[in-house]
Amino acid sequence: MAPDRRILPSVLLLILSALGFLVSLLAAAGTLWGYFRLDMEIASRAEQILLATGGMLFLLVTLLHVPTIIFTLMDLFRKDISFVFPSLFTPANISIGIWVLAIAGGTYLSGRNGSPAILAFLTILGTAIPIVWLVEFNRRKLPRSTPLREWGTLSIGLTAAPFLIMLVEIMIVIIVVIVVIFTAGMQPGFMESIRPLLEEAPQTSGSIEEMEQMLYEIAQNPVIAGAIFFVIGLVAPAVEEIFKPMAVWFLMRHPIKPHEGFSLGMISGGAFALLESAGLVSQISAENWLPAVSLRAATGMLHIGLSGLVGYGFAKSWNDKRYARSLLFVLAAAALHGAWNSLALVNGFSTSALSPAAESMAPSIAGGVSIGLMAAVFFVIVYITQRINFDLRVQQVEAGKEKTGD
């Protein structure tokens, strides 16, 4: 007997969320076990913070899969889940007070060699709360989707989407590396110039600061610099903006309404931002904790807003039966994301202590210009999300008037 096509999506979602739950639970248990087994007298503070933050992040992801499993089982057993949760905008506003306390506590602990476990907990709060607030702020006064769709989107955004993004990006990076080695390897003295870096790589701790330093050193070669900008400024943004809102893809046959595409797209972006932000902040040295958490709040808006734009574009294009137009929304999101990444690279390179012009005004000027342009990209994304929110609210009012005959 052929499987019932109506229940197949729920079965697949149940399997995905259950696997996500189990894998995250095992990762949380293993990471936290490793943290408590550390010899605190020998292990570096950076290693302690990394393990503690990783364990708590995996634990949070584990808990986030639970509602999806519950609602999927309810759907399979034909329980009524057509209800809609009320807006969480007010609770999200209240949580900002908790976020301020978390930022203050994290700043205090990071500067005074405080408890790594508490700092890790504050890192999770410091990265997660702005994400929740940004999603709720950008979809305020808009109708909510069903619990199954919202939580299912979150589970997909925490499992399948980042896995596919990472897989595709790794494949592309391998191809780019092969091309770079072939192209740059033909240059006289190329291998001799990078051999010291290759010898130093195994001795590094893997911190973000050390990785940035190595990145700057190898980027002195024009071919490698071009490859870095190609991957980070073009390939990665395109891949991420295509795959982040992949949960919306599976709902196109229904089809979903534009406000649902916008909301579910932002949830997808928020899931990705949570994994990326907590993972990166955990690798930053304690003295850079505050600027790292603050910057991740800005990049959270980047991921949430652009995924919302793509989700909205998909839903609107399919409702209007103008399917090819959905590609324009992906290209717009990838262009803004690529501009942000490229400007961040320019800023990082121009302000590097290794820059030969470090003593001159040139790095500070280039860094200031790049930061200003990044701020412009940020506000463009804010404007786009607010304009979509406004247009959708106007459409809701007009639809209500048509129903009442006003």
Are the beta carbons of 188 and 178 closer than 8 angstroms? no
Give pLDDT tens digits for 160-171: 999 999 999 999
pLDDT top residue among 298 and 113: 298
Are the beta carbons of 297 and 281 closer than 8 angstroms? no
Which residue do the tokens 């590396």 mark? 177
Residue 208 pLDDT grade (very low, low, confident, very high; cuts 50, 70, 90):
low
d(CA 312, CA 306): 10
Torsion of CA 207, 156, 160, 2, to 10 degrees: 170
Give pLDDT tens digits for 15-44: 999 999 999 999 999 999 999 888 777 778
Q: Is the peptide bond before 255 cis (omega within 30 degrees of 0)?
A: yes
Are the beta carbons of 351 and 364 closer than 8 angstroms? yes
d(CA 180, CA 186): 10
The mean-pLDDT minimum among 97-106, 113-122, 314-323, 354-363 falls in 354-363
pLDDT of residue 357: 46
Taking CA atoms, 301 is separated from 53, 122, 193, in Å, by 22, 20, 39
pTM of the predicted protein model: 0.90
Tokens read off for 338: 């690529």
Average pLDDT over residues 180-209: 62
Alpha helices (runs of H) in 282-361, residue ranges in sequence order = 289-319, 326-350
**DSSP helix/strand/coil, 282:** coil
Residue 199 pLDDT grade (very low, low, confident, very high; cuts 50, 70, 90):
low
pLDDT of residue 367: 75
Residue 401 pLDDT grade (very low, low, confident, very high; cuts 50, 70, 90):
confident
Residue 259 pLDDT grade (very low, low, confident, very high; cuts 50, 70, 90):
very high
> Mean pLDDT of all residues in the chain?
86
Give pLDDT tens digits for 87-135: 889 999 999 999 999 999 999 988 787 788 999 999 999 999 999 999 9
Share of the chain above pLDDT 90, in %: 56
d(CA 261, CA 145): 9
Residue 250 has pLDDT above 70, yes or no: yes
